[in-house]
A and B are shown apart, each in its own frame.
Chain A
Amino acid sequence: MKGVKTISTILYYITMVAAILYLSITVYALITMLTDWSYVVSADGKTFAVCYPFTEKRFLLGENNWGYKLFNFLLPLGFYGIFFWLLSKVFGVFKRPKLFTQDGVNQLRYFYLANIFVPPITILFASIFAGEIEEGLEWVAVIHFFLGVFAYFLAAIFKQGLNLQNEQDLYI
């Protein structure tokens, strides 16, 4: 298990950093949109650009309408921040001294529920309110669905492991 703990510790910190980055960028982008700070709209008004802080170097680009900004820009960015945060929690489960815990089962449950339900709902709202969705996005939802199913199976295994461990703990 030493190898598993080492790998899971590394991945825990990588995904936690990714989560912080995604969520920070989401908050930053929202602030720029609301305050026009480091925010540029094209001459024809069709596209916008979020610039790096205190610069005029373009960072993020998108269509200049609130349907796109919310459902094709902010929500995916924010949800990927949450995805990486939940993923870091899952890796955190594997780096603990005790593998089978109720908290571990709960973290896996949150992860599979998020992966199964959030992407299709987000794409549905995006297609309704933002019009066209970006090409290939539906396949992203399919990949997340299968990832969620895999996590669901893993949660079932962990739940069984937890039950067996609790029963074993009652053998003195």
Chain B
Amino acid sequence: MAIVINIDVMLAKRKMQSKELAEILDITPANLSILKTGKAKGLRFDTLEAICKALACQPGDILEYVATE
């Protein structure tokens, strides 16, 4: 997948654990892991909004496009 979700970087900046973020987002730690490892097929806008709100960041801070050859 060319779109990479860099949640770990923001988690480290905000000194927050994955488990805590999963609780705030009301998703299971397994689903958050799917998101972090790039196995997700898509990201809902309300989930993106909740991530940005929880990590006090912009979508561009966690979404990155990596061109694949």
Is B43 an interface residue when CB atoms closer than 8 A count as contact?
yes
Question: A172 contacts which chain B residues (CB < 8 A)?
Answer: 27, 31-32, 34-35, 40, 42-44, 47
- A103 on the interface (CB 8 Å rule)? no
Q: How far is the CB of A171 from chain B (nearest CB, A)?
A: 4
Q: How big is chain A's contact interface, by range?
A: under 10
Q: Is A167 an interface residue (CB 8 A)?
A: yes
> Least Cβ distance of B45 to chain A in Å?
11
Q: Is B39 an interface residue (CB 8 A)?
A: yes
- Segment 139-172 of A: residues with Cβ below 8 Å from B: 167, 170-172
- How many pairs of A and B residues are in contact by the CB < 8 Å rule? 21
Proximity bits, A55-85, B CB within 8 Å = 1, else 0? 0000000000000000000000000000000
On chain A, the residues within 8 Å of B43 by CB distance are 171-172
Q: How far is the CA of A170 from the CA of B35 in the complex (A)?
A: 9
Q: Nearest chain A CB to B37's CB is how many angstroms away? A: 11
Does B41 lie at the interface of the complex (its beta carbon under 8 Å from any beta carbon of A)?
Answer: yes
Taking Cβ atoms with an 8 Å cutoff, the residues of B that contact A are 27, 31-32, 34-35, 39-44, 47
**Interchain Cβ contacts under 8 Å between A and B, 21 examples:** A167-B41, A170-B34, A170-B39, A170-B40, A170-B41, A170-B42, A171-B40, A171-B41, A171-B42, A171-B43, A171-B44, A172-B27, A172-B31, A172-B32, A172-B34, A172-B35, A172-B40, A172-B42, A172-B43, A172-B44, A172-B47
**Residues of A near any B CB (own CB < 8 A):** 167, 170-172
Q: A171-B43, A172-B32 are in contact. List 18 more A-B contacts (CB 8 A).
A: A167-B41, A170-B34, A170-B39, A170-B40, A170-B41, A171-B40, A171-B41, A171-B42, A171-B44, A172-B27, A172-B31, A172-B34, A172-B35, A172-B40, A172-B42, A172-B43, A172-B44, A172-B47
